[in-house]
Chain A
């Protein structure tokens, strides 16, 4: 299933947040969205996921949702959004309970995703017992459990320390190489963007417009060998964003 964004614009009252965003995402592609803070990245993601209606434009779904998919557009949140009163298993079950699966099917799915995210030993732990990295793994496991067609990730690694971030980034690369997934990946971190993105969409400061789309053709699992090329790309991205970020930084919040 592919997705096509058609001239999306969005306002909050007088505040114009997004302007004329047209964008495509294809199967097994990771599209990174970078842009200065407050430019509407999270809003765009909410619109894509159907949690908010854009003022203008459409999000179009191209092709059919795969038959085994339970929740085609699935989020992974910056703050993990785990229910603190449910165990790891219970949190994953939350996403499945709505779909009338048998107990056996549910158990099988849960142990499968836990194994894929290396969490099997922690099935019965409560979120408060887990480190930030572990919590985000659980959130990833929960997202995988509904077999999403497209994952919507809003700064999934920003709440983590830099070592954990490296580890999780490796995990995501592994996951993509092993089974492939399609994702919109919002981030502030250009290093993350060049490590994970097939396409990097650079938004301007608010109202967010597409400034440029940078493609990186190096396969994800080979990127570590091309550190130099990536650095060049990253620099190119930063040059593009620098002024925007500076200007955005100096704007009054509700000006």
Chain B
């Protein structure tokens, strides 16, 4: 039987030229579904879009009433730099953003950890968070003014409240997702409660916390304009609002471009932080 099998194989090897001419490779149907980063595409899209826009404005295809040309917006930006106002606006805004965002996320992480770790905090606070999170903070501006005054307080508070809730939710989601086996492992080696939180739960929740930061950072920038509606003299948001009320659309576009650059820088920073802190991820 063994022998028969061998002859069979030899035969099929000799015969490996197909007798009917229908031999063709199996069609390939794998691949795809795996977007890879490609360098240079993003700038290309940006520049292409702006070039098209400029071209449209120059030829009158896009009316300057509808949308100012990028060059006009750029001119407005240059004026902003030359008058020295850019720094003043930026520093006013950055101060509000940083204080509001840092306090908001820090408090959010603390409350999120509490909800993640304690049954009482969860029972008491998590419905509250779900109830308050969807309220547009802009609607509460008058209250913030009454509570925190017309000065910096109410502006920072708007950003703080806006960033606090999403951070709470992502943090406790992250804590819930920490591998229970790792916690059990920590207990089995006799780690104290605080060590388990510090060495197992917090690092385990860090990916979720950082992606929460990404979201809360964008929310902070969105809320900046709202916050600076409260009688702010300086600030990118104030600049945009003023430009808007004067229908100075070139300045408006310049201001919006500054905001979006701030957003890009922030996303880049979070990306670096993720690379640094989460290099253990596969």
Contact = CB atoms under 8 A, between A and B. Distances in A.
A109 interface: no
Contacts of A98: 189-192, 195
Nearest to A142: B189
B264 interface: no
B189 A94 contact: yes
B282 interface: yes
Interface in A58-83: 70-71, 73-75, 77, 79, 81, 83
A51 B185 contact: no
Tell me whether chain B's interface is mostly helix, strand or loop, or mixed.
Answer: helix
B110 interface: no
A90 B279 CA distance: 15
Most chain-A Cβ atoms within 10 A of its Cβ — which of B179, B185, B199? B185
A97 interface: yes
Given A51-B184, A77-B181, A94-B199, A84 B189 contact: no
A81 B280 contact: no
B203 interface: yes
Interface band, chain B: 20 to 34
B36 interface: no
A79 B181 CA distance: 8
Interface band, chain A: 20 to 34
15 contacts: A77-B181, A77-B185, A81-B182, A81-B184, A83-B182, A83-B199, A83-B203, A94-B186, A94-B189, A94-B191, A97-B195, A97-B199, A98-B192, A126-B280, A146-B189
B89 to A, nearest CB: 40
A10 B280 CA distance: 39
Interface string B269-282: 00000000011111
Contacts of B182: 81, 83
Contacts of B191: 94, 98
Interface of B: 179, 181-182, 184-192, 195, 199-200, 203, 206, 278-282
A88 to B, nearest CB: 12
A75 B188 contact: yes
Given A74-B188, A94-B189, A97-B195, 9 more contacts: A51-B187, A70-B190, A77-B184, A79-B181, A81-B182, A85-B203, A98-B190, A126-B279, A146-B189
A81 B280 CA distance: 15
A125 to B, nearest CB: 11
The 4 nearest A-B residue pairs measured at CB: A81-B185, A85-B280, A75-B188, A95-B189
B163 to A, nearest CB: 25
A57 interface: no
A133 interface: no
A70 to B, nearest CB: 8
B152 to A, nearest CB: 38
Contacts of B278: 85
Nearest to B184: A51
Given A81-B181, A81-B184, A128 B189 contact: no
A36 B129 CA distance: 45
A38 interface: no
Nearest to A95: B189
A137 to B, nearest CB: 16
A51 B199 CA distance: 19
A84 B182 CA distance: 10
